[in-house]
Amino acid sequence: MEIHNITEDIVFAELEKICDSYKKEGKSGICLCDQCRLDAVCYVLNRAGPHYIVSNRGAARVEQENIARQQKTADITALIYEALERVNLHRRPIEDTGENETSLRTPVFNIPTIVGRLFNGNNFAPMEGINVELYQDGKLVAMKDRNWQNPYKMVINTAGTFTFWPKPIPAESPDIRESFEYAIRVEAGGFEELNHFFKIPVISEIQTAGSFSLSRTFKLPDLYMFPPEDEDT
């Protein structure tokens, strides 16, 4: 069974449009860095009601709900503008990544931001107070800079969402196609250990990505944790 929240799709798409508009207008005073964008996404998702679908039939039904969907999009757009203003009033300090001009021009595989959500499989409530870990080859994956954490600590105000931005991987030259294998691992008291394996296809580029972009986001399917099965049943 696969459950999908289409509100997330609307939020990501509308935020991308608004950020592109800000860039074209040359609007100053609004930071559009990776951290501010993700903070804005979390702000909106915490205030916009989820809209879940379970099948292609559900997706088809959504397509028929034009008026309701347009109103929802309008409400989300207003929340995004509010989120960007509020996030910029409380901006986090920019961390020094230690990258210089030479390293920025070295061919690399820019791994996209990994975004997922984790729920209690019994009641569909967002998981909180636990760590989500990202592994590659049995080791914790290094993050792009100190603004990104691995393990990621789940907190109540992110509605079950976790994010990772792995450090770029050196490449021999641009335009090389490669798939990288990762694993999400979660341990929590009263639940079976969760292990989710996935691959991310990437094409190497001439330089390191300097800022977050929604076009580089790799979205995982919603993940669920369940209590251990009773061996006597």
> Are 110 and 201 in a shared domain?
yes
Amino acid sitting at position 74: A
Question: Is position 232 within any domain?
Answer: no
**Are 149 and 46 members of one domain?**
no
Q: Are residues 118 and 34 in the same domain?
A: no
In a domain? residue 233: no
Encoded amino acid at 62, one letter: V
Poorest-pLDDT segment among 114-128, 139-153, 200-214 = 200-214
DSSP 108: E
Query: Do 136 and 72 belong to one domain?
Result: no
Task: Return the CATH number at 207.
Answer: 2.60.40.180
Instruction: Please tell me whether residues 58 and 114 are part of one structural domain.
Output: no
Q: How confident is the model at residue 93 (pLDDT cuts 50, 70, 90)?
A: low
Using pLDDT thresholds of 50, 70 and 90, give the confidence band for residue 214.
low
112 lies in the same domain as 185? yes
If you count them, how many residues does the chain have?
Answer: 233
Q: Which domain holds residue 11?
A: 4-89
The pLDDT tens digits for 161-195 are: 999 999 999 999 999 999 999 999 999 999 999 99
What CA–CA distance (Å, rounded) separates 214 from 59?
Answer: 22
Q: From the CB of residue 18, how many other CB atoms can be counted at a distance below 10 Å?
A: 18
Same domain, 75 and 10: yes
Q: Is residue 230 part of a domain?
A: no
Distance linking the first and last C-alpha atoms of the chain: 23
